[in-house]
Amino acid sequence: MAVSRSERAYELLRGDLLDNRWVDGTVLSAYALAEELAMSRTPVSVALKRLERDGLVEIVPQVGCRVVGRTAEAVVEALRIRAALEGLAAESAAECVTEQQVRGLRALLLDSERAARDSDEAGCEEADRAFHEALVRIAGQPQLERLIRDVWLLNDHHLGQLRRRFVAARVCASLDEHRRIVETLEAHEPAAARLAAEGHLRAAAADFERLFRSEQAQAQAQDRAVAGL
């Protein structure tokens, strides 16, 4: 099936936003973007409205479309929303998971272990996302999966360039938490699986708050050092 112009504009602009092409607060012109993408303004405007629903931009009357600022609060909020939604997914997965699917999850744990052993930040990030995607697929809840993917998108945007380093920084803790999730799935314990998945992402939210505060303190210390020169 042919991809519509608005869909193509949406995918391209979403990719640019997630790749941090524009700094926070940048005002985007639908006219300029349409010219860049070699299409009329209508599909670009439709794409921007979708991106606003995703939480990546905001449309300001008489101003234009502005890139939403990334904040620590938004990351923590998204992780807590993920905790609730992925907890539901884990609960459903525990009710229907097969032995083959459990083996697949354990193989992904081995990928994470290898990436951690090799200090491979990109590998840690890929293995982490693959684990969560597999868990959500096993649940077999299409509406829930769509909601979760929307939150992933927002979470990735607000984490920005910190995402890979954050995932790598807590890979050991995540591995233990992922193992616990797999154990509860294999035992077909829905309530325990839900608690394990929720606990994993709530712990990630708490760790991110600590990391962000540490980053802020270091930046402030460097600014003071430079000012004192």
Q: Which residues contact 119 (CB under 8 A, 6 or more apart)?
A: 168
Q: What is the pLDDT of residue 139?
A: 98
Alpha-helical runs (H) found in 5-161: 5-18, 30-37, 41-54, 72-96, 99-117, 121-139, 142-159
Q: What is the pLDDT of residue 227?
A: 67
Q: What is the pLDDT of residue 1?
A: 44
Q: What is the pLDDT of residue 216?
A: 67
Q: What is the pLDDT of residue 38?
A: 94
Q: What is the pLDDT of residue 136?
A: 98
Q: What is the pLDDT of residue 213?
A: 76
Q: What is the pLDDT of residue 219?
A: 64
The dotted CATH code for 5-67 is 1.10.10.10
Q: Which residues of the chain have pLDDT under 50?
A: 1
* CATH 1.10.10.10-classified regions of the chain: 5-67
**Number of Cβ within a 10 Å radius of residue 122:** 11
* CATH 1.20.120.530-classified regions of the chain: 72-223
In angstroms, the Cα distances linking 49 to 41, 109, 127, 135, 162 are 12, 38, 32, 30, 26
How far from the centroid of its chain's Cα atoms is residue 227's Cα? 36
The dotted CATH code for 72-223 is 1.20.120.530
